[in-house]
């Protein structure tokens, strides 16, 4: 019996020594053996954990969209001064450095043929526009067209078979949805930030003439302008364009031009080289109780006309003046579409085709009138400091 007990003790000692060596040098062997011993239930656990991690990761949409986001470097040559070639001037004043202001921004590849959407203010007044692709390739871009009213521009680079981004549908986007902002902030290189959609249809911010912004709290900083706002599928939902900031950096309030607007502008620029909009030559203002009293608008029941835009000025010999619209009129409909504020009026008038008559409903001194006007083409905007 004593011999058996001694043999058992020796085996236990040897097995313990082997276990200690394996646990120290190759611990993964023990984990693999434990998983096999516990059967299929534990074998499925790592897959479940991996699924949980993937559900909280945004790497998939970032990887899908990032190759289509480019960096844009702009420069403006001021030319040499007339005295630069004078040897006496150079003797007394030395070599003068040429000023060459540069700017940084981002863009989004929207076609394999090299078309790139960006902001107009990114490339405005630039003499040279250099596009840097995500793979490091560089090229000077050609400007296909610009639209200052929406702050959009369309470029093209001499490459083909480029990784174009998938265009999304704005109707699929809702407040609270997760979005990614991809761009080149401060020139540090391509950067991805995440947030949610804070609001849709933001307007009357004084940023652009035509506004219908997506508001997001995804970090957008200088250099992100023209970059992509994408959803969790990596589809393009907007072009990042502006931020609200007291410091110059992100404060959690950023704005993107929706893809629906960007697509329409891009189509017009490709087909016509410019965006053609209707124009009627009026100065509109949102209707308020004070304005209603100023223009002596009589109430309907116990309230003034609740919906509409009051016209405070009419351009002489303009389309509106020729149609009989007067200061103090309240426009309630354009081409059978209701207008409730200045933004609505601008958008509905812009949809009109120049030269084609359209009906406008006007409220004037307790009477509703139907006037027929023929819009002109909206003139090009003057350069504005952004």
Active site residue 125: no
What DSSP letter does each residue of 200-268 carry, written as one string? EEE--SSS-SS--EEEE-S---TT-TT-EEE-TT--EEEEEEEE--SSSS--S-EEEEEHHHHHHHHHH
User: pLDDT tens across 135-173, in order?
Assistant: 999 999 999 999 999 999 999 999 989 999 999 998 889
Q: Give the count of beta carbons closer than 10 Å to the beta carbon of residue 27.
A: 10
User: pLDDT tens across 9-25, in order?
Assistant: 777 777 767 776 666 66
- The tokens for 224 are 């992100």
**Which residues does 299 contact at the CB level (< 8 Å), separation at least 6?**
none
Active-site annotation holder among 71, 115, 121, 343? 121
Active-site annotation holder among 225, 235, 250, 344? 225
pLDDT at 186 (0 to 100):
86
Q: pTM of the prediction?
A: 0.71
Residue-range domains of the chain with CATH: 170-272 (2.40.10.10), 278-377 (2.30.42.10)
C-alpha 136/C-alpha 262 separation (Å) is: 26
Active site residue 115: no
**Which residues does 384 contact at the CB level (< 8 Å), separation at least 6?**
148
pLDDT at 55 (0 to 100):
58
pLDDT at 386 (0 to 100):
38
Contact status, residue 70 vs residue 106, Cβ threshold 8 Å: yes
pLDDT at 96 (0 to 100):
54
Render the burial of 370-383: b for 16+ CB within 10 Å, e for the rest.
ebebbbbebeeeee
Active site residue 225: yes
Mean pLDDT of the chain: 81
Active-site annotation holder among 147, 151, 217, 344? 151
User: Is 270's pLDDT higher than 80?
Assistant: yes
């Amino acid at each position: 019996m004593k011999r058996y007990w001694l043999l058992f003790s020796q085996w236990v000692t040897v097995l313990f020594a082997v276990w200690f060596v394996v646990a120290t040098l190759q611990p993964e062997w023990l984990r693999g053996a434990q998983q096999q011993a516990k059967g299929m239930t534990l074998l499925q656990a790592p897959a479940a954990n991996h699924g949980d991690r993937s559900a909280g990761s945004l790497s998939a949409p970032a990887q899908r969209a990032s190759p289509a986001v480019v960096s844009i470097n702009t420069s403006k040559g001021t030319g040499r001064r007339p005295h630069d070639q004078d040897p006496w001037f150079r003797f007394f004043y030395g070599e003068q450095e040429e000023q060459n202001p540069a700017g940084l921004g981002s863009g989004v590849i929207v076609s394999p043929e090299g078309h790139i959407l960006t902001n107009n203010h990114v490339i405005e007044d630039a003499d040279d526009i250099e596009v840097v692709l995500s793979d490091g390739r560089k090229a000077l871009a050609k400007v296909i067209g610009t639209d200052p009213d929406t702050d959009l521009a369309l470029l093209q680079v001499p490459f083909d078979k480029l990784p174009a981004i998938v265009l999304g549908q704005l109707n699929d986007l809702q407040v609270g949805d997760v979005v990614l902002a991809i761009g080149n902030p401060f020139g540090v290189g391509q950067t991805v930030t995440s947030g949610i959609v804070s609001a849709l249809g933001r307007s009357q911010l004084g940023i652009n003439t035509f506004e219908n912004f997506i508001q997001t709290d995804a970090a957008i900083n200088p250099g992100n302008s023209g970059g992509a706002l994408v959803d969790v599928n990596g589809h393009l939902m907007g072009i990042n364009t502006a931020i609200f900031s007291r410091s110059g950096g992100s404060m959690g309030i950023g704005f993107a031009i929706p893809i629906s607007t960007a697509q329409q502008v891009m189509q017009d620029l490709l087909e016509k080289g410019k965006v053609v909009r209707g124009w009627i030559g009026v100065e509109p203002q949102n209707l308020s109780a004070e304005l209603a009293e100023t223009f002596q608008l009589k109430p309907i029941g116990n309230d003034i006309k609740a919906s509409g835009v009051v016209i405070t000025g009419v351009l002489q010999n303009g389309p509106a003046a020729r149609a009989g619209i007067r200061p103090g009129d309240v426009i309630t409909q354009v081409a059978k579409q209701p207008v409730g504020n200045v933004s609505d009026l601008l958008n509905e008038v812009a949809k009109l085709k120049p030269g084609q008559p359209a009906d406008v409903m006007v409220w004037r001194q307790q009477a509703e009138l139907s006037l027929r006007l023929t819009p002109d083409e909206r003139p090009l905007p003057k350069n504005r400091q952004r």
